[in-house]
Amino acid sequence: MPETVPGSLSVSNDVIADIAGYAAMSCYGVVGMSEQLQGAESVRLLPGQRLRKGVLVSSTEDGLLVDLHVVLESGVNMKSVCENLSSAVAFTLQEIAQIDPARLKVIIHVDALKNRA
């Protein structure tokens, strides 16, 4: 049986970005995280070890704001994938980092569509 330990938990924004990135990658329809290239109007698909570059975490007076920049698989229902993605990221952050979902807002930016082949 789990035991409650008194104290507080502090999680850095980089760790939250890593957790959110890995949660996003486990969702159906997500090909990968993306990064906006400076000075260009194109995006780059990030390798698995650099997922946090596609996630921006910031604090607001209402709570925590997580911006995800993703590349989706071509032909998927974007609305369903984004709803699932938002839910999965919120659930994972609640489970691992103990972040209150009422104080968490997940914003998804679909930067590109790509065929998996």
CA 31 to chain centre: 13
User: pLDDT > 70: what percent of the chain?
Assistant: 92
For residue 110 the two structure tokens come to 């679909």
Please, which residues have CB within 8 angstroms of residue 21's CB and are 6 or more apart in sequence?
33, 51, 52, 54, 55, 68
- Model-level pTM? 0.83
Q: Are 93 and 19 in contact (CB under 8 A)?
A: yes
pLDDT in tens, 33-77: 998 766 667 677 777 778 888 899 999 898 999 999 999 999 999
What's the rounded Cα separation, in Å, for the pair 33 and 17? 11
Tell me the CATH number of domain 13-114, given options 3.40.50.2300, 3.30.110.40, 3.40.50.920, 3.30.70.1350: 3.30.70.1350
